[in-house]
Amino acid sequence: MKKRVVQVLVAAIGVAMLSTACVSNSGSKGSADSGTTDFPNQQMNMIVQSSAGGLSDQISREIADLMGKDLGQTMVCQYKPGGSGAVGMSYVQASNPDGYTIGHTPVEMVMLKNLGYADLTSDDLDCLGRAYTTVGALVIKAGDDRFSTIEEFIQYAKDHPGEVKIGNAGTGSIWHLGAIGLENAAGVTFNHVPFDGSSKSIAALMGGHVDACVAAPIELISGVDGKELTVLATMGDERAEVFSDVPTLKESGIDYTLIHWGGFAAPKGLDEAVRDKLVDSLEKAVNSDDFASFLAERGMEPAFLTGDEYETFISGQTDLYKNLIDEAGLLSK
């Protein structure tokens, strides 16, 4: 009999724990909008749209650190990976607009709706500002005897339509769409092979399983230094600082640019004063020396943009990627 009682107790405790877990989760959303003048007066959340450890995480953590110091509060990173960032960004959208939750919004923000991952556009978020940019780079295995310059590569691709295997970080990722854009601009056809993330596609390139990759410089620095990889061209308007001896596509006669960028956003409906504080703090963080050297090591550049300028930039990018997504046959109706 006594045993029964204990069992019931155990079950009851289990249920109780569950309900508190649920309540406390919904409870935290409702509170904390008391008094905006002393914002922020409690811990803040940074929603990272990827899992811990990747580039998004590193950048978000650096910004969370710098903004937290500036605002005098700790900013804790939470990870909501999945669906090319759809999960994380939708989470930000659905959060309470009290200024205590902001999130990292990389370029994928402008693609999600067209890819059909989430009914979410930049209009559904309060985009505080852009923080950084990094160029795309076309890279091959070092010592490939078929091509060693961008001109030879394009010529080879023209002679062998559909045969050149280009690895990318996943279907619908910026590097996949970027390669499609390159196809259009150069008038060639590739065989696109999606991998589970950039590092896997680069490992496949080093192992000779694909012929080339489009990726960000950060993924390539060590391979290039170690003479495992050769960057044929970068895709910015100007040469990338990390690969200053590598020509841009434009220099090589292909009118095409591809930049990866990212910013930070809050849910819609922020109090004006709170918003100003956040934008201000973000600008300080992005323009700090710490952030500059942090990005330089990773082959990226700080690029703060806010207000109307940022909106114009976003709408331009939205159109660009909508076309590329359409081209790739991924456009969701």
Q: Where are the beta strands (DSSP E) in 252-311?
A: 259-267, 301-305
For residue 201, give both structure tokens. Answer: 């596609």
List residues binding other proteins (CB under 8 A): 3-4, 6-7, 9-11, 13-14, 17-18, 21-22, 25, 51-54, 57-58, 61, 65, 78-84, 86-87, 90, 115-118, 165, 170-172, 191, 193-196, 199-200, 202-204, 206-210, 221-223, 225-228, 297-298, 330
| 138 and 181 Cβ atoms separated by less than 8 Å | no
Give the helix/strand (H/E) hosting 130: strand 125-135
**Closer residue to other proteins (CB): 168 or 281:** 168
Length of the chain: 333
Strand partners, 231: 139
Phi, psi of 123 (to 5 degrees): -70, -20
For residue 27, give both structure tokens. Answer: 């409870």
| 80 and 91 Cβ atoms separated by less than 8 Å | yes
Shortest CB 6 distance to other proteins, Å: 5
**Closer residue to other proteins (CB): 95 or 257:** 95
Shortest CB 137 distance to other proteins, Å: 15
The helix-helix angle for 272-286 and 55-71 (nearest 10°) equals: 120
**Closer residue to other proteins (CB): 185 or 221:** 221
| 296 and 119 Cβ atoms separated by less than 8 Å | no
Shortest CB 196 distance to other proteins, Å: 6
Shortest CB 218 distance to other proteins, Å: 9
- C-alpha dist (Å) from residue 231 to 55, 162, 308: 20, 21, 35
Q: Read out DSSP for 39-83?
A: ---S-EEEEESS-TTSHHHHHHHHHHHHHHHHHTS-EEEEE---G
**Closer residue to other proteins (CB): 14 or 253:** 14
Shortest CB 252 distance to other proteins, Å: 27
**Closer residue to other proteins (CB): 228 or 311:** 228
**Closer residue to other proteins (CB): 256 or 294:** 294
**Closer residue to other proteins (CB): 221 or 320:** 221
Shortest CB 22 distance to other proteins, Å: 7
Shortest CB 35 distance to other proteins, Å: 26
Q: Hey, how many other C-beta atoms are within 10 angstroms of the C-beta on 294?
A: 19
**Closer residue to other proteins (CB): 3 or 34:** 3
Shortest CB 171 distance to other proteins, Å: 4
d(CA 174, CA 130): 17
